[in-house]
Amino acid sequence: LICLTGGGWSAVKIMRRDARLHSSPNAGWPEAAAAAALGIALSGPRVYNGALTEDPFVHPEGRRELEPEDIEAACALLWRGWIALLGLAALAALI
């Protein structure tokens, strides 16, 4: 739903390609979906407990310099996903 409400089928393809790159098998899917839908790169090298990790980027071709507006865009994307989920749940309840 994150892909479909934000980036379409091209985002689905990127999510399927990049979800496995994330260190978490569960967080990789929504993070890859959001990265693709927003056109940004997420994850990648970062510092944990003072040590630099060599994790790959999720959606590496996306923009890596993030702006405060990206937070607003991510929240809007999340809300669109929730609205789509509620719509699907309502439709399923009618069937």
Which pairs from 39-47 meet CB under 8 Å and 24+ separation?
A: 39/7, 39/63, 40/64, 40/66, 40/70
How far apart CA 32 and CA 21 sit, in angstroms, is 9
- From the number of C-beta atoms within 10 Å of its C-beta (0-12, 13-18, 19+), residue 80 rates as middle
Structure tokens given for 84 = 């789509």
pLDDT per residue rounded down to tens, the chain (95 residues): 999 999 899 999 999 999 999 888 888 999 999 999 999 999 888 888 999 989 999 999 999 999 999 999 999 999 999 999 999 999 999 98
pLDDT digits over 54-74, tens only?
A: 999 999 999 999 999 999 999
Supply angle C-alpha 24, 25, 27, rounded to 5: 60
